[in-house]
Amino acid sequence: MTTLRLATRKSEMALLQANMVASALQQAHPGLTIELVKCSTKGDEITDRPLADIGGKALFVKTLQRALIEDRADLAVHSVKDMPAALDPHFSLAGVLPRPTAADAFVSHRYPTFADLPQGAIVGTSSPRRQAQIKKLRPDLRVESVRGNVQTRLAKLDDGLMDALLLSAAGLESLSLSDRISEVLPLDAFFPAAGQGSVGIEVMTERTDMQAYVTPINHAASFCTVSAERALVAALHGDCHSPIAAHATVSEGQVHLCGWVGNADGSQTLIAEVTGNAHQPEHCGQHCAQQLNVQGAQALLQEQR
């Protein structure tokens, strides 16, 4: 009997995602045994400072990659939005599970929609992208940085430290917290992070045997969309400091990608849309990045670095 070891973070959401991957693998490969290798990452341990100040979202990924390098795990399970857009050549995104939604969720006890927030209301988010989009639409609002897992953030809202939160709708749904969603925000106003809502499976590039296990559970349409989105961010040389958003859809052999770049206060925003061959999603992402660069994306992003 074959045993596969899945590296995962220890948070409730990460373990749920790892178990989703484990279930899919076992369904595709009857008789397969799965062992979870639970890793504690620096990003999970340090929650009193912004991620950008301690190394960015890559902190969530590097510990799991180390488990692959040291042969303590065969596969690593990530939230795709936490993965660097340009991976070290030693690692590959082997597949993704079906993506439920890429949208952001507005969460509040007192206000049913984002538009209902009164002047000066406090909105919690640790994302430069979300901060820029909030400020673009409502410069009167106060944006406060909030870190920690979903439950920690919700507890801060419950304690009255802020009036609302912006969180991933898919993340709340996976934790059976859909009842906390006041409003699913429209994707044409709140552009999501590249890969948001997707669960990804990473392998060592040389481990073609592991790739063979993942291929049957890869959701092709979701993989296409996240590939286009990640190619856009990679082409813009984006990182966790960068207010960059991307959202792609697939239909009839075509991938449609919308890319967004802004500055921290939302006073400048750039948008580009392209459509390309769904079999070449990376080309679509690169083309969209080129259109954003023509509009001045690099100069705008350089201001944030």
Please list, in sequence order, all residues whose beta carbon lies within 8 angstroms of the beta carbon of residue 281, skipping any fewer than 6 positions away: 224, 225, 227, 228, 231, 248, 255
Cα 245 off chain centre by: 10
Q: How confident is the model at residue 265 (pLDDT cuts 50, 70, 90)?
A: confident
Domains of the chain by start residue, with CATH? 1-97+198-218 (3.40.190.10), 104-184 (3.40.190.10), 219-305 (3.30.160.40)
Please list, in sequence order, all residues whose beta carbon lies within 8 angstroms of the beta carbon of residue 285, skipping any fewer than 6 positions away: 227, 228, 229, 230, 231, 232, 233, 234, 235, 246, 257, 259
Handedness of CA 158, 186, 290, 221 (dihedral sign): positive
Give me the pLDDT at residue 42, please: 63
53 catalytically annotated: no
Phi, psi for residue 254 in degrees, rounded to 5: -120, 145
Out of 71, 74, 82, 158, the active site residue is 82
Residue 294 has pLDDT above 70, yes or no: yes
**Cβ-based neighbour number of residue 54 at 10 Å:** 15
Pairing of strands 3-9, 269-277: unpaired
> What percent of the chain has pLDDT above 70?
93
Give me the pLDDT at residue 58, please: 65
- Dihedral angle computed from the Cα positions of residues 119, 123, 128 and 132, in that order, rounded to the nearest 10 degrees: -20
pTM (predicted TM-score) = 0.92
Instruction: Give the CA distances from residue 123 to residues 194, 202, 226, in Å, rounded to whole numbers and listed in that order.
Output: 22, 33, 28
Residue 54 has pLDDT above 50, yes or no: no
* pLDDT tens figures, 162-201: 999 999 999 999 999 999 999 999 999 999 999 999 999 9
Listed residue (225, 161, 233, 231) closest to 197, CA to CA: 225
Residue 44 has pLDDT above 90, yes or no: no
Give me the pLDDT at residue 56, please: 52
Q: How confident is the model at residue 46 (pLDDT cuts 50, 70, 90)?
A: low
In order, the DSSP letters of 26-38 are HHHSTT-EEEEEE
- 43 token code pair: 């990003």
Residue 238 has pLDDT above 70, yes or no: yes
